[in-house]
A and B are shown apart, each in its own frame.
Chain A
């Protein structure tokens, strides 16, 4: 894809080995970088820890979603059957928690699942986002194939082209390169 050259947006380097990329993540985190990311074809276990990422807040959202589902299931069955539409069927109680269990459970699971799905993709991962400023870089693209692509972003306060390049080379990255902003021309 043709692109004109714009400002420097990142310095990137590639890794092929999960041990080396984990060590590199530790090194970059240790050097004080905060605006960096590692793009991988599959989750590399322990990499997020090496990068110094905090634990995900997803479980809290999941719990909230589940409790909401459970509460709505209770309210729905109690109010419709016990208050609004009192229908005597064979003398069975109008509401009882025992017969409410299946719907409690199903709505709880449904609301948890929907919450997890939308929170994870929409809020925590910021998707859908159909454009990435790095998307013309071949190494970055290969992160969905077999490449571990380390990206030091220019937005990081510590970023200078020279230090970033030196750091990645020291950590053993291949193909250390300066990436410019590209303007789509096709």
Chain B
């Protein structure tokens, strides 16, 4: 970490490490639980560590990664341009199968985003302090994932230049959108989700950007951080309102995240197609979204943890906790698979039965069993505490889970569509190189965004992680609206 040392000397911190002992002079007992941040850091060291990442000079490795991601994204943009120029006939869709990789990828990417909101909002409301190490990057991931989802949903309309027709606005045709359609609900759900996630993320960033601003050396960096930190000073008179706003955002985002994937599932469930028309879809989709989102957070954070040396912040405890959530949501998903199969049989409806038997044994059985293996069987390894704390195993499994969740959406979409009520409409669907390139391209786009984020913004929520450090809060604070004194999560502080 030569870069970190360079930063430490470059910033003549107002306090040198030694001045920080106020935090540790209480007669604290030994930790009752694993500490959230390792290495007995002072508040100043946290600033140094996290701001240091954004301040160090970009390494050749970073530029190489960025260039590679841009090339992949560029290929996707090329294929997208081709699609828009020629029409969606260049995709493999046919009369029978009108939704293919486009909607599969849309649902896949929207789902990925859900972990970010879950970590930032739901875990906040449940006072899960460990979220502070990962919430910033997970929220960033949410935003990038929703952008990728938008790519598919906006292109699949066929004439994307007319996508503004989806919005209700007064027009010369005197027509209005159809609010009875779940596809219209989707427009509202996804755009609200994107806006609120962005505001929530930015609100969290403001105080941290102020930290970067006050340390910035170069004129450009200073100007950029100054503008976006809005002139935040850390005034308690501001924090007071800020904290309440943060709580409202968390309160809003929690039902919002549940609504978004519920509404995405309505796209299917409100139709009367066998295999789609089921009431289990909303909770099943939400659980699946969290499942895949956490897997994606793990994939990214395990890489970031290595490259940016965040071992003391993203600890085995965090990985363990996330793996437990993956196991839990994986079980919910597995239950949903079993239950929809059972209901298909129990309903006595021959079409419903056929679709499910066909799912497991028909043309797309390979996709179904891929989904079952990745989503239901593979997470079972996480019953073992040893495997939950194995970084390499977790990394591999997080990728497996995301493959599985992609196949879940593909299975749901293609198996219900490819066999209509009449055998004459039976068909098979394979994607063309255009669809495949666009999909791979969105991963490139995602990585471009993520790399830029990790380079220029605080990848860990500075203010939040400082506030949960041992001794960071008054020791005899018995305030009723309080945020965290019940946790005992940090260390056994002397509560007198």
Measured CB to CB, the residues of A under 8 A from B are 15-20, 22, 25, 37-49, 51, 53, 56, 58-59, 62, 76-77, 80-81, 84-85, 87, 89, 92, 99-100, 102-103, 105-107, 109-110, 112-114, 116-117, 120-121, 124-125, 127-132, 134, 138-147, 149
Partner of A19, one of B200, B210, B474: B474
A62 and B315 CA atoms in complex are apart in Å by 37
Q: Does the CB pair B242–A43 fall under 8 Å?
A: yes
Interface string of B235-251 (1 = CB under 8 A from A): 11111111111001100
A16 and B241 CA atoms in complex are apart in Å by 23
Closest to A82 in B: B179
Interfacial chain B residues near A20, Cβ < 8 Å:
22
Partner of B249, one of A40, A105, A113: A113
Closest to A131 in B: B231
Q: Does the CB pair A144–B175 fall under 8 Å?
A: no
Q: Does the CB pair B236–A51 fall under 8 Å?
A: yes
Interfacial chain A residues near B232, Cβ < 8 Å:
127, 144
Q: Does the CB pair B249–A116 fall under 8 Å?
A: yes
A40 and B232 CA atoms in complex are apart in Å by 11
Q: Does B221 contact A (CB under 8 A)?
A: no
Q: Does the CB pair B207–A132 fall under 8 Å?
A: no
Q: Does the CB pair A113–B180 fall under 8 Å?
A: no
Q: Does the CB pair B196–A110 fall under 8 Å?
A: yes
A18 and B470 CA atoms in complex are apart in Å by 11
Interfacial chain B residues near A22, Cβ < 8 Å:
474, 477
Interfacial chain A residues near B263, Cβ < 8 Å:
102
Interfacial chain A residues near B259, Cβ < 8 Å:
102, 105-106, 109
Q: Can you add 16 more A-B contacts, CB < 8 Å, to A43-B240, A53-B240?
A: A17-B22, A18-B474, A41-B47, A42-B207, A42-B464, A43-B239, A53-B236, A81-B179, A103-B179, A113-B192, A127-B232, A142-B13, A144-B211, A144-B213, A145-B14, A146-B43
List B128-185 residues whose CB lies under 8 Å from chain A: 168, 174-180, 182, 184-185
Q: Does the CB pair B466–A41 fall under 8 Å?
A: yes
Interfacial chain A residues near B23, Cβ < 8 Å:
16-17
Q: Does B195 contact A (CB under 8 A)?
A: yes
Q: Does B230 contact A (CB under 8 A)?
A: yes
Closest to A174 in B: B19
Given A48-B239, A92-B180, do A58 and B244 touch, yes or no (CB 8 Å)?
A: yes
Q: Does the CB pair A114–B199 fall under 8 Å?
A: yes
Q: Does the CB pair A132–B231 fall under 8 Å?
A: yes
Q: Does B323 contact A (CB under 8 A)?
A: no
Q: How far is the CB of B229 from chain A (nearest CB, A)?
A: 9
User: What are 20 A-B interface contacts by the 8 Å CB criterion?
Assistant: A18-B475, A41-B43, A41-B462, A43-B240, A43-B243, A44-B239, A47-B239, A48-B239, A51-B236, A59-B248, A80-B179, A102-B188, A125-B237, A128-B230, A130-B230, A130-B231, A143-B233, A145-B43, A145-B44, A146-B47
Interfacial chain B residues near A17, Cβ < 8 Å:
22-23, 25
Interfacial chain B residues near A39, Cβ < 8 Å:
233-236
A156 and B375 CA atoms in complex are apart in Å by 64
Given A41-B211, A43-B242, do A128 and B477 touch, yes or no (CB 8 Å)?
A: no
Interfacial chain B residues near A76, Cβ < 8 Å:
168
Q: How far is the CB of B104 from chain A (nearest CB, A)?
A: 22
Partner of A107, one of B15, B21, B188, B466: B188
Interfacial chain B residues near A58, Cβ < 8 Å:
241, 244-245, 248
Given A113-B196, A116-B248, A146-B15, do A125 and B179 touch, yes or no (CB 8 Å)?
A: no
Q: How far is the CB of A171 from chain B (nearest CB, A)?
A: 14
Q: Does B108 contact A (CB under 8 A)?
A: no
Q: How far is the CB of A182 from chain B (nearest CB, A)?
A: 16
The number of residues on chain B lying at the interface, defined by a beta carbon within 8 Å of a beta carbon of chain A, is: 83
A39 and B242 CA atoms in complex are apart in Å by 13
Interfacial chain B residues near A106, Cβ < 8 Å:
185, 188-189, 192, 256, 259
Interfacial chain A residues near B184, Cβ < 8 Å:
103
Given A127-B230, A145-B214, A146-B43, do A103 and B185 touch, yes or no (CB 8 Å)?
A: yes
A85 and B176 CA atoms in complex are apart in Å by 6
Q: How far is the CB of B256 from chain A (nearest CB, A)?
A: 5
Q: Does B292 contact A (CB under 8 A)?
A: no
Most B CB within 10 A of own CB, among A17, A77, A102: A102
Q: Does the CB pair B176–A81 fall under 8 Å?
A: yes
Q: Does the CB pair B236–A47 fall under 8 Å?
A: yes
Most A CB within 10 A of own CB, among B13, B230, B236: B236
List B26-53 residues whose CB lies under 8 Å from chain A: 42-44, 47
Q: Does the CB pair B240–A146 fall under 8 Å?
A: no
Q: How far is the CB of B273 from chain A (nearest CB, A)?
A: 15
Q: How far is the CB of B77 from chain A (nearest CB, A)?
A: 29
Interfacial chain A residues near B266, Cβ < 8 Å:
102
> Could you say which of B341-349, B449-457, B478-486 contacts chain A?
B478-486
A99 and B482 CA atoms in complex are apart in Å by 39
Interfacial chain B residues near A100, Cβ < 8 Å:
179
Q: Does B463 contact A (CB under 8 A)?
A: yes
Interfacial chain A residues near B25, Cβ < 8 Å:
17
Q: Does the CB pair B241–A124 fall under 8 Å?
A: yes
Partner of A41, one of B234, B473, B479: B234
Q: Does B467 contact A (CB under 8 A)?
A: yes
A28 and B351 CA atoms in complex are apart in Å by 76
Q: Does B362 contact A (CB under 8 A)?
A: no
Q: How far is the CB of B415 from chain A (nearest CB, A)?
A: 26
Interface string of B281-301 (1 = CB under 8 A from A): 000000000000000000000
Partner of A42, one of B168, B231, B466: B466
